[in-house]
């Protein structure tokens, strides 16, 4: 079975409806949710989503997300995308694969696998499992895929929260030093935080920190008032560093 990354996403998005008039979205329609449930690495997901939108198969909306602290980009199929996804589902559903059920191995059409169990299996999950384990599908593994996906989402959410807290501490003074930036970048890579999530988190944090020009300028003025006479060379150096920080603007996104 051959299927592209874009086709994986189309099949997965069949599990969700339109975002019209939706205030709060399921986390499964965010970039993170789509990445986890389609088994596409997060660093590649944006490219696939952009291509689908360029072809008029997917649309993007900014919405509140269940359990989230800020609005995020959410995705849904366009009418054209819905037609394309259903055609893809019908074509792939006819493919015959081997399925292990207990001690037996049976040949089954992909479209018939869901009906062979008491647990509802999403078509897109069956396809993902078939792509990853092409020889024989294990029914027991399929029946636990939804729970596995939920655990993966919870783990990614926890990592994002850890990163948010670290970012908040780094920006607490209103200034991100070079050493703090180095540590944040390293943590971002280690936890697998996407550029989009980083920007969204940083925007919220920057809105809550005191204005640099106010707090640091006040400190600068107080230091100048405390100095008696001509500053020493060392004091001049410290003042120059502080002045540069006072004049440094907040990053623009």
Q: Contact, 85 vs 13, CB < 8 A?
A: yes
Q: Contact, 38 vs 162, CB < 8 A?
A: no
d(CA 181, CA 196): 17
pLDDT at 66: 84
pLDDT at 88: 94
Both tokens of 212, joined, read 């640099």
pLDDT at 6: 95
pLDDT at 76: 95
The architecture of the domain spanning 5-89 is Orthogonal Bundle (1.10)
> Residue ranges of the domains in the chain?
5-89, 94-143, 147-208, 212-247
Q: Contact, 106 vs 28, CB < 8 A?
A: no
pLDDT tens digits, the chain, 253 residues: what are they? 688 999 999 999 999 988 888 888 888 999 989 998 998 988 889 999 999 999 999 999 998 888 777 788 999 999 999 999 999 999 999 989 888 888 888 998 989 988 888 778 889 888 888 887 767 888 777 777 777 767 766 676 677 778 778 888 877 777 777 788 888 888 888 877 778 778 777 877 777 765 544 445 555 555 556 555 566 676 666 666 666 655 555 555 4
pLDDT at 241: 65
Q: Contact, 220 vs 242, CB < 8 A?
A: yes
């Amino acid at each position: 079975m051959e299927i592209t990354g874009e086709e994986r996403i189309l099949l997965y998005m069949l599990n969700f409806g339109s975002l019209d008039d939706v205030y709060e979205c399921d986390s499964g329609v965010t970039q993170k949710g789509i990445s986890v449930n389609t088994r596409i690495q997060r660093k590649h997901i944006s490219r696939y989503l952009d291509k689908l939108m360029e072809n008029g198969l997917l649309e993007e909306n900014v919405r509140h997300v269940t359990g989230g602290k800020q609005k995020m980009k959410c995705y849904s199929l366009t009418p054209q995308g819905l037609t394309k996804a259903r055609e893809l589902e019908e074509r792939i559903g006819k493919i015959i694969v081997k399925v292990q059920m207990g001690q037996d191995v049976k040949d089954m059409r992909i479209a018939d696998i869901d009906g062979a169990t008491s647990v509802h299996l999403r078509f897109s999950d069956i396809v993902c499992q078939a792509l990853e384990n092409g020889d024989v599908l294990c029914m027991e593994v399929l029946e636990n895929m939804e729970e596995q996906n939920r655990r993966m989402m919870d783990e990614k959410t926890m990592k994002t929260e850890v990163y948010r807290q670290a970012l908040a501490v780094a920006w607490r003074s209103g200034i991100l030093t070079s050493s703090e930036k180095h540590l944040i970048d390293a943590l971002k890579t280690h936890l697998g935080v996407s550029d989009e999530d980083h920007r969204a988190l940083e925007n919220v944090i920057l809105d809550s920190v005191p204005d640099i020009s106010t707090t640091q300028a006040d400190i600068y003025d107080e230091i100048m008032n405390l100095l008696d006479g001509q500053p020493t060379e060392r004091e001049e150096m410290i003042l120059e560093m502080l002045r540069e920080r006072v004049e440094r603007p907040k990053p623009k996104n």
